[in-house]
Chains A and B, each alone.
Chain A
Amino acid sequence: MKQIYSLLILSFCYLQAFSQEPNYGQVSGNFALDAQYYIADSTINAQNVPEKTRMNTFANINYTLGKFSTGFRYEAYMKPLLGFLPGWEGQGIMYRYAQFTDDKFDVTIGSFYEQFGSGMILRAYEERALGYDNMFDGARVKFNPYKGVYLKGLYGKQRLFWRLADGVVRGADAEVNLNEMLDSVMGRMKTKFILGASFVSRYQNPADVNYVMPANVGSFATRLNIIRDKWNVSGEYVYKINDPSADNKFIYKNGQGLLLQFNYATKGFGLSLSGKYIDNMSFRSDRYEGFTNVFINFNPALTRPHTYNLAATLYPYACQPTGEIAFQGELNYKFQKGTLLGGKYGANLAVNYSYANGLDTTTFSPEKDSARMGYSSRFFGPGSNKYFRDFNIEFRKKVSDKFKFVLMYIYLEYDMEIVQNLIGKGTIYSHIGVADLNYKIDKKNNIRVEVQHLYTQQDKGSWATVLVEYTRSPHWFIGALSQYNYGNEVEAQRVNYPYLTVGYIQNSTRITMGYGKQREGLFCVGGVCRAVPASNGFTLSITSSF
């Protein structure tokens, strides 16, 4: 730590001393604070919080001077908001870095985030709302030795709350844009080819009382992207050797995954199809870790990220890195102005279907499995276990200068036992309808009404939601939300969850205050989810950037 600070100070001195003109660089950053005052409420199972209030906050401070940049992030979780893992409790600086970038080199020491390809072999990122931060701490070099050739290498440990995980991760990635590299031959070709390959290895002390552990676990990936006019086709294959871990119950089967994507887009029409096969591809810095801690890789979600409240937080799909097969298709069509559905301003239709099943596997009996392979699986073969189905259709239309609306229907099938590990809950079958109406009263005043209904006979039964939001530009907004679980089989649990918000915006600063009941659910981003417990109380949120 001390050496890094010394290096930063020396770097400043060096740059100051050799500057030809007074140039003090540029400071930028952002700040966010989320606090909540909790009130115990037995009607919604909101627990008593001894501290009454809890707070998550952070601030990023970055300094840039020419090709040099440095920065840090201060974070404080005192205590972490409910739903965040207790390990976050504390405050301090884990993220700090120094970076030098020029045309061909990019060198970073300290903390950094990185992604190779689609992320199926390596992806470090942060998503604060999830309590997800698997940054690397170490060194990274990016090198562009020749036009169209991009190389990356990294060496580091990953963040585990307020310490670094045990494992050491080493990785290298190469990407070649053939059209750029061979510009004299392929430079004018309409079809573009981009090739990539990655290798990532983790070292962890193999000492284990039960099994002979591999100290070094290697994984490689290869990818290809072909682009021509309106077409874009890409694929990535990833393979990992034996990596016994708590995730796979310490089996020694190799892991593999394949991601295929196809996109076609033209004016007023878009089509995308994708498929994914993941088998035993959970890859973490520490074989004993759980939850969403210290993942080296990332399992891309092939589901539509819903934004409307009921679909987004009651039954969102969390990817299953131990094994799943998933497909998604999405069609976007724009009805042109002057047509029957397009009317004066045109209209947009989006149809989306996503599918996830378990793998087609054969489990080995322990007596005959001396190598602890666990099971065999059929490549890209779906098993009979349905994990998730989502069919949704969305229609957006602007009717006049003042009025526009969105209508949406969603059908979900959701295996709660698999996705949320809630034994006995079974599969949920639900129909969701949404009407989002927006009326612009005048240049300054806008009102939006959102009505949602979820019908199901499983879990907690049906829900109805109404949101009314009034905005007075450019500073103020106020909203009232009511979520009513009127279909709950248990009469005492037919609870209404009212929630009021008021917010103020000044330039890049936004302050929001809320009060009311929030139901328990899941919050997901990109197939990674965090449980959100029921709560009752005041919330305060401040975000700002400079």
Chain B
Amino acid sequence: MKKFRLLFAALVISTGLFFQSCDKVDQPYYDTPVCPAVTFPDTNGTTRNILFEEFTGHTCGNCPSGAYDLRTIWKPMYDDRLIIVSVHAGVFATPDIPAGYYADYRTEASVEYDAFFGVTGYPSGMVNRVPYASQYVVGKVNWGNAFAVEAAKPLEIDLQMYVEHDELTDPYSVCLHMHSKFLTSKNGRFNVVGYFVEDSIISKQKNYPGAQGDPDYLVPQDPNYVHRHMLRDNIGGTWGVNMWSGNAPAGKDTTVSLKYNFQPRDTVDFSHRKHHYYFVGYVYDFDTKEIHQVIEKKLTPH
């Protein structure tokens, strides 16, 4: 009986210790230091770049045909002026476990963009978020025309971007510094947004045969499909942070710095994957959604 009492006492004490096993977190956010100030050179850009946000999904069999056109026609034509981000959203981007499409590449922002801009067909995308034929979301057949319209426009707001990354002391975070400058006077509300983009993700993609899909991939449901320039996360939220509101005279400049911590999934095999990490920054009119300038930078120079 004495043995039982001892054991009973041990159990009671253990239970008491268990009750101590609760950590209440009142402040979930790290008290991270603000990104240190940086100085940008006082230069004026001259060329207006084009951001193409391509709506796609891994069970969309037509979508690889859009990626094929972008890779083989439009990117060679516009080179660095055309910055492509693949936005996985909509019914074709949902995981389909029975069919082996396990990944979920949707982001909080991609879902909101899909709903806000009313994506109805694929392959499709937005060209600087400027409506073409009254539609924000432009079908593949009109991409070339929409690119030509945007490429002919003058640059009105310049944007410089610096990705600050200290690989030794803080490898899994960056500071994204975006410096905008009005080249002409403008009135309105202007926001800046950062995108974290990952290139060359290999996973299964439905691909219709021939010209309906990407003819460089011969397998209809290819587990080795290379997903290019995929939007992985937003920096500054879905609609970004305000850079300027009201009347801005020509020459007015502003710098916005945003801290970004990589998600755990991005830190796996970081030394290898980091070479596929990009950051895209853009400045846009919050009311019309028109993107005035966009910049792309790699995390690593390699």
Q: Which segment, of B44-52, B95-103, B140-148, B276-284, faces chain A?
A: B95-103
Q: Are A143 and B8 in contact (CB under 8 A)?
A: yes
When each residue 163-178 of chain A gets 1 if its CB lies under 8 Å from chain B and 0 otherwise, what string results?
0000000111010000
Residues of A within 8 A of B98 (CB): 82-83, 520, 531-534
When each residue 86-107 of chain B gets 1 if its CB lies under 8 Å from chain A and 0 otherwise, what string results?
0000110011011110100000
When each residue 421-456 of chain A gets 1 if its CB lies under 8 Å from chain B and 0 otherwise, what string results?
111100000000000000000000000000000000
A112 at the interface (CB under 8 A from B): no
- Within the complex, the shortest CB–CB distance from B43 to chain A, in Å, comes to 34
Residues of A within 8 A of B91 (CB): 422-424
When each residue 18-59 of chain B gets 1 if its CB lies under 8 Å from chain A and 0 otherwise, what string results?
110111111111100000000000000000000000000000
Q: A82–B21 Cα gap in the complex (Å)?
A: 40
Residues of B within 8 A of A153 (CB): 11, 14-15
With A211-B30, A216-B21, A371-B26 already in contact, the answer to whether A422 and B99 are too (CB < 8 A) is no
Closest to B27 in A: A212
B254 at the interface (CB under 8 A from A): no
Q: A201–B15 Cα gap in the complex (Å)?
A: 11
Q: Are A145 and B7 in contact (CB under 8 A)?
A: yes
B264 at the interface (CB under 8 A from A): yes
- Within the complex, the shortest CB–CB distance from B217 to chain A, in Å, comes to 15
Contact residues of A between 86 and 108, Cβ < 8 Å to B: 86, 104
B263 at the interface (CB under 8 A from A): yes
Q: Are A199 and B4 in contact (CB under 8 A)?
A: no
Q: A200–B22 Cα gap in the complex (Å)?
A: 10
Q: A209–B24 Cα gap in the complex (Å)?
A: 18
- Within the complex, the shortest CB–CB distance from B260 to chain A, in Å, comes to 10
- Within the complex, the shortest CB–CB distance from B238 to chain A, in Å, comes to 10
Q: Are B264 and A208 in contact (CB under 8 A)?
A: yes
Residues of B within 8 A of A371 (CB): 26-28
A323 at the interface (CB under 8 A from B): no
Closest to B106 in A: A423
Q: Are B264 and A214 in contact (CB under 8 A)?
A: no
Q: Are A211 and B28 in contact (CB under 8 A)?
A: yes
Q: Are A211 and B29 in contact (CB under 8 A)?
A: yes
Q: Are B18 and A170 in contact (CB under 8 A)?
A: yes
Residues of B within 8 A of A412 (CB): none
Q: Are A370 and B4 in contact (CB under 8 A)?
A: no
Residues of A within 8 A of B29 (CB): 211-212, 370, 372
- Within the complex, the shortest CB–CB distance from B16 to chain A, in Å, comes to 10
Contact residues of A between 517 and 546, Cβ < 8 Å to B: 520, 531-534
Closest to A203 in B: B21
User: A421 contacts which of B95, B173, B261 (Cβ < 8 Å)?
Assistant: B95
Contact residues of B between 1 and 17, Cβ < 8 Å to A: 4-5, 7-8, 11, 14-15
Q: Are B263 and A151 in contact (CB under 8 A)?
A: no
Among B11, B91, B172, B173, max chain A CB count under 10 A is at: B11
B203 at the interface (CB under 8 A from A): no
For chain B, give the interface size range. 35 or more
A45 at the interface (CB under 8 A from B): yes
Q: A115–B11 Cα gap in the complex (Å)?
A: 18
A162 at the interface (CB under 8 A from B): no
Residues of A within 8 A of B7 (CB): 143, 145
User: A213 contacts which of B24, B25, B262 (Cβ < 8 Å)?
Assistant: B25
A464 at the interface (CB under 8 A from B): no
Q: A82–B102 Cα gap in the complex (Å)?
A: 13
Residues of A within 8 A of B261 (CB): 209-210
B267 at the interface (CB under 8 A from A): yes
B221 at the interface (CB under 8 A from A): yes
Residues of A within 8 A of B25 (CB): 212-214, 242, 244, 252
Q: Are B28 and A209 in contact (CB under 8 A)?
A: no
Q: Are B28 and A372 in contact (CB under 8 A)?
A: yes
Residues of B within 8 A of A375 (CB): none
Q: Are A47 and B221 in contact (CB under 8 A)?
A: yes
- Within the complex, the shortest CB–CB distance from B93 to chain A, in Å, comes to 9
Q: Are B15 and A172 in contact (CB under 8 A)?
A: yes
Q: Are B263 and A209 in contact (CB under 8 A)?
A: yes
Closest to B26 in A: A371
A350 at the interface (CB under 8 A from B): no
Q: Are A201 and B27 in contact (CB under 8 A)?
A: no
Q: A520–B27 Cα gap in the complex (Å)?
A: 45
Q: Are A172 and B11 in contact (CB under 8 A)?
A: yes
Q: A252–B269 Cα gap in the complex (Å)?
A: 29
Q: A172–B262 Cα gap in the complex (Å)?
A: 37
Q: A86-B102, A206-B23, A211-B28 are in contact. List 4 more A-B contacts (CB 8 A).
A: A145-B5, A209-B261, A216-B22, A534-B98
Can you name 30 A-B pairs with beta carbons within 8 Å? A83-B97, A83-B98, A141-B11, A143-B4, A143-B8, A151-B11, A172-B11, A199-B18, A201-B22, A209-B173, A210-B263, A211-B30, A212-B25, A212-B28, A213-B25, A214-B22, A216-B23, A218-B18, A218-B21, A218-B22, A250-B28, A288-B264, A370-B29, A371-B28, A372-B29, A421-B95, A423-B94, A531-B97, A533-B99, A534-B98
